[in-house]
Structure 1
Amino acid sequence: MSECFSAGPARFRAYVALGANLGATYDNLRLALVELDELPWTSLEGVSSFYVTKPVGTDGPDYLNAVAAVQTAMGPHELLSALLSIELMHGRERPKPLAPRTLDLDLLWMAGAERDTPALSLPHPRMNQRAFVLEPLAELLAQLPPEKTDPVLPDAAYRAKLAVEQGISLE
């Protein structure tokens, strides 16, 4: 008797930036990580440390930021839709660009996919300009087994300069 085992749908590594600067920021990020892990065909693969950062391009309270890696069989637009739903469950409002927020989830990178639609740009267009993305992402990349489709980050000197300019520190 032979059995046929299905490996299931192909999964891809995606990187998601998490941030919050309103309400219970730590709790919101922790709960969002659980919710990421509970998405269909998705599992949490790793999470960076939490970083405290100054707002970039706006004012308001400091942010708590991190980056998570997930393995998912969702497509890019499907994953983005799920991220936006999680934000809404946490009371995310969008009164103006760069407004303070209870939760922000940005799809940064998905297995090297490139998209440029009104709803989604991959890789994230400002990923390499934000210390609150680059520092946690660099930390996470150093912890995970490398994949050919992982992002290549700017050099450490550039990242260090951004970190100083933008005011970032470990929680």
Structure 2
Amino acid sequence: MNKVFLSIGTNIGERAANLQEAVRRLMSHPAIEVKVVSSIYETAPVGFVDQASFLNIAVAIETMLLPFEVLEVCQSIENELGRVREFRWGPRIIDLDILLYNHENIEAEHLIIPHPRMYERAFVLVPLVEIASADCAMLGQARLALQAIDREKEGVKQWKTIGTVDEFVHFES
């Protein structure tokens, strides 16, 4: 079984409902088991800053899918939920990124794992470190990177605490 960490973000429409729907779609995939969902964090936009704040979460899944198959599932969910890529770092209804896949390093044209910018972004690291077990060797570098990032400066604030996956998909947004 492969252990995969995803980052999911949104800043268009009903942001919390967008996150919930993305997780529901992951849960409905027969080859994916959603194990843990982080709390929801509201974060300032990065890159193009003239847009609404994002809601971001991290999700831990287990799957028999290969990395490119996980990517295909993520992109399919984005497309189904209406993701439009107008320009880099622009507003989006949903964004699913593969952060880590086991201990693997992959460098292909359309997939780089670990995610190439995750160590620079508090909005990715804060929820990721929250859901990772203390002994998870995959996240040692993430924990170190997070220590060097000023969370307040990057505008990462906890928006809603989440206890379980079931609680996440059923809370009223």
TM-score range, shorter chain: 0.7 to 0.9
Residue in structure 2 matched with residue 68 of structure 1 by the alignment: 59
SS of equivalent residue, structure 1 residue 151: helix
Matches of 1:137 and 1:131, distance apart in 2: 9
Give me the whole-angstrom Cα distance separating, in 1, the residues matched to 2:31 and 2:136: 19
Matched, 1:93 2:84: yes
Which shows bigger deviation, 120-129 or 28-37?
28-37
State TM-score, norm by structure 2.
Answer: 0.86
Describe the SS at the equivalent of 2:157. Answer: strand
Q: Aligned partners of 2:61, 2:32: CA distance in 1, in Å? A: 7
**Pairing 1:32-51 to 2, within 5 Å after superposition:** 32-51=22-41
AA aligned to 2:154 is Q
- The equivalent of 1:3 in structure 2 is none
Question: What do the CA deviations read for 1:1-20 (whole angstroms, capped 9, x no partner)?
Answer: xxxxxxxxxx1110000000
| Structure 1 runs (4+) greater than 3 angstroms displaced | 144-148
Match of 2:74 among 76, 79, 83: 83
Secondary structure at the aligned position of 1:55 is classed as coil
User: Given the alignment of the two structures, is residue 19 of structure 1 paired with residue 1 of structure 2, yes or no?
Assistant: no
Opposite residue 153 of structure 2, the aligned amino acid is E
Mapped contact 2:129–2:139 kept (Cα < 8 A): no
Match 1:164 to one of 152, 156, 165: 152
Rg comparison, structure with higher value: 1
* Partner Cα separation in structure 2 for residue 81 and residue 101 of structure 1: 18
| Distance in 1 (alpha carbons) for counterparts of 2:120 and 2:112 | 15
Q: SS of 2:73's equivalent?
A: helix
Counterparts in 2 of 1:138-157, with a 5 A limit? 138-141=129-132, 144=133, 146-148=135-137, 150-152=138-140, 153-155=142-144, 157=147
Q: Percent identity?
A: 32
Which 5+ residue runs of structure 2 have no aligned equivalent? 160-173
| Aligned-residue offset at 1:30 | 0.7
Answer whether contact 1:52 1:168 (CA < 8 A) is retained. Answer: yes
Specify the alignment match of 1:5 in structure 2. Answer: none
| Counterpart among 102, 113, 120 of residue 129 in structure 1 | 120
Aligned equivalent of 1:118: 109
Shift of 1:146: 4.1
